[in-house]
Each structure stands twice: as C-alpha cells, then as structure tokens.
Amino acid sequence: MIFRQLFDPGSSTYTYLLAERAGGEALLLDPVFENTDQYVQLLNELDVRLVLAVDTHIHADHVTALGRLQQRTDCATAMGEKSVAECVSVRFREGETLNVDKLRLDVLYTPGHTDDSYSFVLPDRVFTGDTLLIRGTGRTDFQNGDPGAQYDSLFNKLLRLPPDTLVYPAHDYKGMMVSTIGEELQHNPRLQVESRQAYIDQMNALNLEAPELMDIAVPANRECGLKSAA
Ligand code: FE
C-alpha cells in the first residue's frame, strides 16, 4: 500500500493519500485548498491517479480542496449522506465501502463533532476525522455538534476496534502523528469518564473560541471549496 500523511501548518490538518500500488488509483482524505498543487505533484511523482477526494465532514477551520482537485484531475468528490454539501459527486453511508483498486475503506457514521462526521476503517488503521483525536476529541459546540452522539460514536464504534488499530486523526496541534485505539483508551484524558452524562458535561464545559476561519470555511466548504476561488 502507498500511504502518505501530509500536514497543513496553517490549520494543523492532516491529509492522507492512499493507493494500493504505483500505476493505480489513489484517494485523498481531507485535502486542504491551498495545498492542491502539492497534492497534484505528489500524485504525479508516485505515479498514481486520483479517483476520489473525500472529506470526513464539513470543516470549519480550512477550505477543502475537493472542488479544486475535481477540476484539476477529474476525480470524484465524496462526503457522507448527512452532509449539506450538494457539490459532491458521491455520497456514502455507514456500511458501504470506498474502493481504490483493491483497497476497501469501510465507512462508519461517527457524528458528534458535527452531524456529518464519518470515519474510515482499513484492517490495520482507522481515519477518525475530528471524532477521535490523539489525546483529545473534536469539539461539539457548533455545526450541529452533539456530545452525547459523540460519546456513542466513540464508545460504541471507534473504541470497539481492535486495540492495536492505528489511529490517524484529521488534526493534531501538538505534533502527535499517529496513535492506537488501545493507547487512546488508556491515555486520552477525554475518554476517562464514568458515564455518558459525564462526557456530555465535560464537553459542554469547554468554552472554546470559534475557529478563526469558520465564517469563511463553512460556506465555502458547502460548495466544495470553490467559493473561495472566486
Ligand atoms: Fe472539524
């Protein structure tokens, strides 16, 4: 498998490139608008053809490259069935798979950070979007966020994956790049709660400031990032 983890320093976003083999198909997960040229160059260098650009959810902290990549490479663009983005060409739902040659990513619906948040599972790793971060979890105070739904997504879905499953989140702000389900169960401070209600109370007490780019990024991302190119 070809696997690359790319970092956008402006928004601390991780973008993932996945392909089964050189000469074959590729998928980009959570690409950032400003880095489109870098992605296109890397795809060429690795000799893979982008067939699918995917967002785990509508991001509030950066503009997506989905629309730009579609223009540049003619790839399909995908978000979940719960997304309000009408610009995408593919909509997935839990139980389906995203296929890139023989790679099959199982789709999990993991709402909480937003109501359109999804995670993607390969046999040895999971892409958790902003649902499960390394030593953290995504905030639940805007875009129809719901701490109770997030608890259910975490404890009934993601944390039930095998403990040695690698965790690749959509962001990290402290330089952590990868974790495992077992490591997060043991050391993630947000997960050390006695009950669902305790998790809800914890999230409701965070009192975070709104992301700087929210008023620009959310409307732009509903249109696959192409609004900002105007
Ligand atoms: Fe997010």
Ligand 1 midpoint to CA 49 (Å): 27
How many Å is the Cα radius of gyration of the chain? Answer: 17
pLDDT tens profile 103-137: 999 999 999 999 999 999 999 999 999 999 999 99
Strands 103-109 and 2-8: unpaired
Given the structure tokens 């948040």, which residue do they identify? 117
Say which residues have a Cβ less than 8 Å from residue 197's Cβ, sequence separation at least 6: none
Distance 210 CA to ligand 1 centre (A): 12
Which CATH code, of 3.40.630.30, 1.10.540.10, 3.60.15.10, 3.30.70.980, is assigned to 2-209? 3.60.15.10
Token pair, residue 5, equals: 């983890």
Which pLDDT band holds residue 227 (cuts at 50, 70, 90)? confident
Total-model pTM: 0.97
180-215 pLDDT, tens digit each: 999 999 999 999 999 999 999 999 999 999 888 999
d(CA 137, ligand 1 centre) in Å: 10
The model's pLDDT over 40-54, given as tens digits with 9 standing for 90+, comes to 999 999 999 999 999
Could you tell me the distance, in angstroms and rounded to a whole number, from the CA of residue 138 to the centre of ligand 1? 7
Q: What is the mean pLDDT of residues 4-29?
A: 98
Q: How far is residue 158's CA from residue 229's CA, in Å, rounded to a whole number?
A: 36
Expressed in angstroms and rounded, the spacing between residue 215 Cα and the centre of ligand 1 is 13
Domain range summary for the chain, segments of one domain joined by +: 2-209
Averaged pLDDT score across all residues of the chain:
96
Q: Is 6 left (phi over 0), alpha (psi -120 to 50) or beta?
A: beta
Cβ-based neighbours of 12, under 8 Å, separated by 6 or more: 171, 172, 173
pLDDT at 230 over 70: no
Ligand 1 centre to CA of 13 (Å) is 9
22: CA distance to ligand 1 center in Å? 31
pLDDT of residue 229: 46
Residue 95 CA to ligand 1 centre (angstroms): 22
